[in-house]
Amino acid sequence: MRQVTPLTDGWILRHPDGTGAELPASVPGCVHTDLLAAGLIPDPFLGRNEAEVAWVGRRDWTYETDLPAGTGAHEQTDLVFDGLDTVAEILLDGRSLGRVRNMHRSYRFDVTGLSGRLAVRFASAYAEAEAVRGTVGERPGAYAEPYQYVRKMACSFGWDWGPTLVTAGIWRPVRLERWSTARIARVRPLVTVDGGTGRVELAVDVERTRVEAPLTVEAAVGGVRARAEIDGTHGTVRVEVPGARLWWPRGYGEQPLYDVELTLLHGEEALDVWRRRIGFRTLELDTSADAHGTGFTLVVNGERLFARGVNWIPDDVFPSRITRERYRRRLEQAAGAGVDLVRVWGGGIYESEDFYDACDELGLLVWQDFPFACAAYPEEQPLRGEVEAEARENVVRLMPHPSLVLWNGNNENLWGFRDWDWEPGLAGDSWGEGYYLGVLPRVVAESDPTRPYTAGSPWSGSWRHHPNDPAHGTHHSWEVWNRTDYADYRLAVPRFVAEFGWQAPPAYATLRRALPGEELAPDSPGMLHHQKADDGNGKLERGLARHFALPDGDFDRWHYLTQVNQARAVAAGIEHWRSHWPVCAGTVVWQLNDCWPVTSWAAIDGDGREKPLYHELRRLYADRLLTVRADGDGPVVAAVNQAAEDWHGSLRLRRMSVDGTVIGEAALVLAAGARTVAEVKVPPELIPVGPAEFLVADAWEPSRPDEAGTGGALRALHFPAPDRDIPYPRPEFEVALVPDGITVTARTLVRDLLLQADRLDPEARADRGLVTLLPGEEVTIGVRGWKTPDPETARRALYCVEPTR
């Protein structure tokens, strides 16, 4: 049987200062984390330390350890690296075993009979990128850093939400594998289901030391076993599982997973074993043309889905620090917000098995980008061969996961070619089209024909339409954030919104940790350093000014209002687009998470704290959503029902004044079939007139109790004027402590009340975000991690919209 020995201990990192100084090194890890552990660099996440450590990415570094001598009677010993970041030479006692230049691949070297001093010499990724650029010529990109010339996590070089921390190191596990006769080199599982029978076809490649040895493989799935012979170095074994239970996205059913075990045999001697988990489900991407353009609808097990998605970036700029537990925690947060699709964005990495395992278990669909983002990528060597090799390896590596439902060729590069002035400057030079429309779809078709492939995001399906045409395929909506008001999300109904979002700063406690000792202001030095977007603060300010009077010198008020604006902006888009299902078939919010403490579009900040947007997503992505849509001939209440059951209940409409007076009301019948949207036109006499009036829509379904146990209730509010024009009363409310939280009772209209729990204690968390109360209403906010509860402290941590005059 193959014997595996992890190589995790005894590594050192040689400092390139000419003295030969050495430091203890962690493997897996990277140079930055080793230097941090040794106290030789400051934490780049704090203050403006990022600039102080820029030199690290421009140096060469060497990792060393002793490679032990082989033991036992195995015929071959391989040195296996699951990930090297990025450009390195591997040497044993000074003799080169090979050179590598791709972070996204694994590597294997024959070290049979060898031992001695193992060294991995990393060259600066900058040096490699600049050398390749010198060979293939300049290519345009969204950022000045040369990330498109090296197969490395692009956001290592900085992004509009990320620091420039260009890493190097042994970022994934390394081990010795000792084996005899043969080993399993690759297993390509094709998993299908038809008529209740699950089918697993395992295409097996083996590597041999003895060509003449007869080999068989035995597969076991769900208690069913099958065998097949290996013909030379290839074989295929097929297993049928009667009565296979279907794997469903969360919210649509359960997620049964089946263990697969494939054993390589020489006679009855087990030589090697491959184990994974799979799920049975059918999958289709419907891109058929219709009266509205070209659709983009995921269909799982015959069920057409409105995808409730978030974009995922690497959860740490040093990805070797992301543990299995951290992946699980972050993805559980996503599931807790009602998310059912996670898009792994193309400026990051193919994530570890821990990420996809968690998605399999939680029922989170995965849209996987190939790692290309926001640049023209050369197609010449040495890059072309690396791209195909990494694609072939990772497609097969991730195939077992039922959560994986889509391969996507790139992020914004087809759009960039057409709209960002790339085409004239390229003058016919390669820019990546051959990857997205040639190499990558060929690799997916040959290796993983069970999953759909799309050439890019955004992409209209062909060059016959503009790449970002909202009527065709996927659409990125960034004009709104960059140039207009979030109300403009309501001007169009794209077929699938794969990116859109609005910025806000991180939680207050996150800022206090990241900017120690700084007097916080929107334009204080640390705040500006942790704002990476082009004119980010200007866009935040202009976005606020369209709705609120700008807080003059009051950082706490600015912080609260920018959080409110972020949640409202995303709500404006999702409510509108969900109400137009099935024309629009999905929204993927930019973004779920952050890789460090920063002002960004994230719902969860760099310290893992949930912004108000996160709690708003819980409402927006619930199976049932009530919203008021201002159509051309008057407002309409849309009841979005993504549940499997019909929604029958009552709808109460109230036209109210901000002083609490009910001007008019009506009780109507609400009926929305399963997976449909029902619309109820607001009677003319209930339409608010002027800035002092608003509409309240409450929907009840008595069979579904709400959190207070008083009968199911959903609410939508429609204020026809911006807050700056609304004559709000000065908010009055009472605060009382209750077990594990507080209760707030409103005496006036209280709009967008928010408890910033981290102001109570950095470890405290609230169970809800923004809530609007009518006079006499109350809400209980659960709080955990608050060590010394006190109502006055709670009152100081409560914020709400206040009158401007």
Q: How many CA atoms lie within 13 A of 206 on its CB side?
A: 33
Shared-domain flag, residues 667 and 746: no
**pLDDT tens readout for residues 174-230:** 999 999 999 999 999 999 999 999 999 999 999 999 888 999 999 999 999 999 999
Decide which of 278, 309, 334 is a domain's last residue: 278
Residue 20 pLDDT > 70, yes or no?
no
**pLDDT tens readout for residues 134-143:** 999 999 999 9
Shared-domain flag, residues 760 and 794: yes
Q: Which pLDDT band, with edges at 50, 70 and 90, does 582 fall under?
A: very high
Tell me, what CATH number does 523's domain have? 3.20.20.80
Q: Is the peptide bond before 382 cis (omega within 30 degrees of 0)?
A: yes
Shared-domain flag, residues 128 and 190: no
Shared-domain flag, residues 146 and 125: yes
Kindly give the pairing relationship between strand 765-766 and strand 778-784: antiparallel
Going from the C-alpha of 251 to that of each of 305, 341, 723, the distances in angstroms are 11, 11, 36
Tell me, what CATH number does 684's domain have? 2.60.40.10
pLDDT at position 709: 36
Counted domains in the chain: 5
Shared-domain flag, residues 147 and 216: no
Q: What are phi and psi of 129, to 5 degrees?
A: -60, -40
User: Looking at the domain assignment, is residue 488 inside a domain?
Assistant: no
User: Looking at the domain assignment, is residue 805 inside a domain?
Assistant: no
The conformation of residue 409, written as its DSSP 8-state character, comes to: -
CB 746 within 8 A of CB 778: yes
Helix (H, G, I), strand (E, B) or coil at 158: coil
Q: Which secondary structure element, helix H or strand E, spans residue 42, and what is its range? A: none
Shared-domain flag, residues 48 and 116: yes
CB 523 within 8 A of CB 53: no
Shared-domain flag, residues 143 and 196: no
Neighbours of 2 (CB within 10 A): 18
Tell me, what CATH number does 29's domain have? 2.60.120.260
Alpha carbon 493 to its chain centroid, in Å, reads 23
Residue 682 pLDDT > 50, yes or no?
yes
Distance, in Å, from the CA atom of 727 to the CA atom of 693, rounded to the nearest integer, reads 9
Assigned token pair, 398? 């991730």
Q: Which pLDDT band, with edges at 50, 70 and 90, does 701 fall under?
A: confident
Shared-domain flag, residues 91 and 202: no
**pLDDT tens readout for residues 382-431:** 999 999 999 999 999 999 999 999 999 999 999 999 999 999 999 999 99
Residue span of the structural domain in which 137 resides: 3-176
User: Looking at the domain assignment, is residue 673 inside a domain?
Assistant: yes
The dihedral over CA atoms of 363, 309, 762, 742, expressed in degrees to the nearest 10, equals: -80
**pLDDT tens readout for residues 242-280:** 999 999 999 999 999 999 999 999 999 999 999 999 999
User: Looking at the domain assignment, is residue 490 inside a domain?
Assistant: no
Neighbours of 587 (CB within 10 A): 27
Distance, in Å, from the CA atom of 86 to the CA atom of 102, rounded to the nearest integer, reads 5
- In terms of C-beta distances under 8 Å and separation of at least 24 residues, what long-range contacts does 324-332 make, across chains too? 324/354, 324/357, 327/351, 327/352, 327/354, 327/355, 327/358, 328/354, 328/358, 329/608, 330/592, 330/593, 330/604, 330/608, 331/355, 331/358, 331/359, 331/362, 331/364, 332/358, 332/362
Give mean pLDDT, residues 6-12.
Answer: 97
Distance, in Å, from the CA atom of 91 to the CA atom of 351, rounded to the nearest integer, reads 28
Residue 702 pLDDT > 90, yes or no?
no
Q: Which pLDDT band, with edges at 50, 70 and 90, does 71 fall under?
A: low
Shared-domain flag, residues 375 and 522: yes
Q: Which secondary structure element, helix H or strand E, spans residue 24, and what is its range? A: strand 22-24
As annotated, the active-site residues are 412
In this structure, which amino acid lies at residue 260?
V
Helix (H, G, I), strand (E, B) or coil at 750: strand
Give mean pLDDT, residues 74-87.
Answer: 97
Assigned token pair, 194? 């038809």
pLDDT at position 710: 36
pLDDT at position 21: 82
Nearest in space to 628 (alpha carbons), one of 720, 538, 561: 720
With a pLDDT cut of 90, the percent of the chain lying above it is 95
Q: Is the peptide bond before 506 cis (omega within 30 degrees of 0)?
A: no
Shared-domain flag, residues 330 and 194: no
Which position has the higher pLDDT, 713 or 109?
109
Residue 549 pLDDT > 70, yes or no?
yes
Alpha carbon 526 to its chain centroid, in Å, reads 26
Q: Is the peptide bond before 582 cis (omega within 30 degrees of 0)?
A: yes
Instruction: Let me know the angle formed at the C-alpha of 309 by 200 and 676, rounded to the nearest 5 degrees.
Output: 90
Kindly give the pairing relationship between strand 307-312 and strand 3-6: unpaired
Q: What share of the chain is helix, strand, coil (3-state, %, to 5)?
A: 25, 35, 45
